[in-house]
Amino acid sequence: MNAEIKARAACLIGWPAAHSRSPLIHHYWLRTLGIEGGYNIEAVPPEGFAEFVLHLSTHGFVGANVTIPHKERALALSMPDPRARAVGAANTLWYDAGELRSTNTDIEGFINNLDACAPRWDAATDALVLGAGGASRAVVFGLIERGIERVHLANRTLPRAQALADQFGANVHPVAWDAIGELLPRAGLLVNTTSLGMHGQPPLQIDTGRLPPHAVVADLVYVPLQTPLLAAAQARGLRTADGLGMLLHQAVRGFELWFGQRPQVTPELRALVEADLTKV
């Protein structure tokens, strides 16, 4: 086939790159929007990553998602936007006038999912974020950008929360893990960014009964789909936003950058990915 008329393709670069849901998501959008394009999985070891990324177009790709363990290297090897720089990691690459650019779409994935699941969640003045790893940086950046007045950041290892607060400024307040209980009554938004509650991990022990009645609870964990934290919040009638919603919303921007159309997160797409996550 003539290279000129070859369909556009993007890929996911990881090591290992197995069992990612990204191909399912992007193939759904390509199919439903009638776009002739592709989305491949590329397992690239750390020692081959720089060569692969610096010659992404030669490898046949207009852009890429990047996952573990390459996200920090991807940032260093491209021209990152302020979001990727703030998070310290890039998960989406694309070409802009021949230049390899990068961003981090976890921030908008988190915020757009909250907007979709719990409109007016940003009326909260106080948010309580649990965890201070990479995912937490994206969450905290998004909350500050949206104008949340106080972001309380609780982490098992307090110095990590302090380091994050130092980076993001006076609106972020690091707190010890055992201070969570006393902060719950004023948390209009509670976000779990830790691995607690994930399949195979201990549950997150939080008394959702102490949250105010208007509180919104978000969990980044999506295996299982409904974590014990989300189940408890829903049983109390609180609004929730789950990790799968964030995963779907964070994929939107990459697709738009590579294929030129902004796709929708539809109930049909969610059902498709849910079915894949729950199959044995």
Pick the binder of ligand ATR from 127, 135, 211, 238 (CB under 6 A): 135
**Position 134 contacts ligand ATR (CB under 6 A):** yes
Rounded to whole angstroms, the Cα distance separating 192 from 176 reads: 15
Question: Would you say the C-alpha torsion 221, 226, 228, 230 has a positive or negative sign?
Answer: positive
DSSP H helical segments within 156-235, as ranges? 158-168, 180-183, 228-235
C-beta closer to ligand ATR: residue 131 or 142: 131
**Catalytic residue flag (residue 279):** no
CB of 59 to ligand ATR, least distance (A): 27
- Return the half-sphere exposure (C-beta side, CA atoms, 13 A cut-off) of residue 267: 1
189 burial via Cβ count (<10 Å: 0-12, 13-18, 19+): buried
Which residues touch 213 (CB under 8 Å, ≥6 apart)? 237, 238
Candidate segments 18-26, 130-138, 222-230, 257-265, binder of ligand ATR by CB under 6 A: 130-138
Rounded to whole angstroms, the Cα distance separating 265 from 6 reads: 27
Candidate segments 50-58, 194-202, 225-233, 253-261, binder of ligand ATR by CB under 6 A: 194-202
DSSP H helical segments within the chain, as ranges? 22-33, 46-54, 71-76, 82-87, 106-117, 134-145, 158-168, 180-183, 228-235, 243-259, 267-278
Q: List the catalytic residue out of 70, 71, 152, 253.
A: 71
CB of 95 to ligand ATR, least distance (A): 27
**Position 105 contacts ligand ATR (CB under 6 A):** no
Rounded to whole angstroms, the Cα distance separating 109 from 244 reads: 10
**Position 155 contacts ligand ATR (CB under 6 A):** yes
Pick the binder of ligand ATR from 23, 60, 88, 133 (CB under 6 A): 133
**Position 223 contacts ligand ATR (CB under 6 A):** no
Residues making up the chain, counted from first to last: 280
**Position 84 contacts ligand ATR (CB under 6 A):** no
* Residue, CB closest to ligand ATR: 133
Candidate segments 16-24, 75-83, 121-129, 192-200, binder of ligand ATR by CB under 6 A: 192-200
Residue identified by tokens 């797409």 is: 269
Site residues (CB under 6 A) for ligand ATR, limited to 24-63: none
C-beta closer to ligand ATR: residue 37 or 197: 197
Pick the binder of ligand ATR from 157, 167, 205, 266 (CB under 6 A): 157
Q: Looking at the annotation, which residues are catalytic?
A: 71
**Residues within the interface to ligand ATR (CB under 6 A):** 131-136, 155-157, 160, 193-196, 202
